[in-house]
Amino acid sequence: MIGTWRWNVGFGAVGGMMSLLFSMSGNTFAVSCVRGIYAFAVFFLLAFLFRAILRIVAMPQPSVPALHLDEQDGGYEAGSKFEAVIPDESDQLHEMLKSSPDGRPAAPNAEAAQTNQFQPLKPPQLVSTQNKDPEELAKAVRHLTGG
């Protein structure tokens, strides 16, 4: 624990005295003293909690132990080293990049290349107000607005 119990008593005394002085103006002396004692207990416990948290935060972190060298495992303790070898797949990657997105080989001529270009989607118009009866449109608007 950081510090001593005297810090708790000092913090509790300051809190109790402040509570006593502030409550004197609106209460009797006995009620103010009881509230001062309660405040002393609460501030005493808060100081204890604060010191405990401060100790946890200020505690030095344990150092990481050094690896034990072992001749059997190439100089490292078992499970302390991970080796991964990734096979060379650059040829397959180049072939995939040369092919079109749908998996077919890339088109050798310009005509076939133009067919693979982006074309925006043209959805059909779902609702049209052309050739509608004005009374029917007004009825629909009244229904939607709740009027």
Determine the distance from the C-alpha atom of residue 138 to the mean position of all C-alpha atoms in its chain, rounded to a whole number: 51
State the pLDDT confidence band at 54, using cuts at 50, 70 and 90.
Answer: confident
Higher pLDDT, 49 or 125: 49
pLDDT at site 31? 93
What distance in Å separates the CA atoms of residue 52 and residue 78, rounded to the nearest whole number?
39
Which one has a higher pLDDT value, 91 or 12? 12
Structure confidence by residue, pLDDT tens digits, 75-84: 566 667 777 7
Q: Is 69 left (phi over 0), alpha (psi -120 to 50) or beta?
A: beta
pLDDT at position 2? 65
Give Rg (Cα) of the chain: 40
pTM score: 0.40
- Residue 102 confidence (pLDDT): 61
- Pair 76, 69: CB distance under 8 Å: yes
Model confidence pLDDT, tens digit, residues 93-132: 888 788 766 655 555 555 555 566 788 888 777 676 677 7
79: left (phi over 0), alpha (psi -120 to 50) or beta: left
Calpha distance 106→82 (Å, rounded): 40
Region 36-58: mean pLDDT is 91
Q: What is the pLDDT of residue 18?
A: 94
pLDDT of amino acid 49: 92
Taken in order 25, 29, 33, 34, the sign of the CA dihedral is negative
- Which sequence spans correspond to the domains of the chain? 5-58
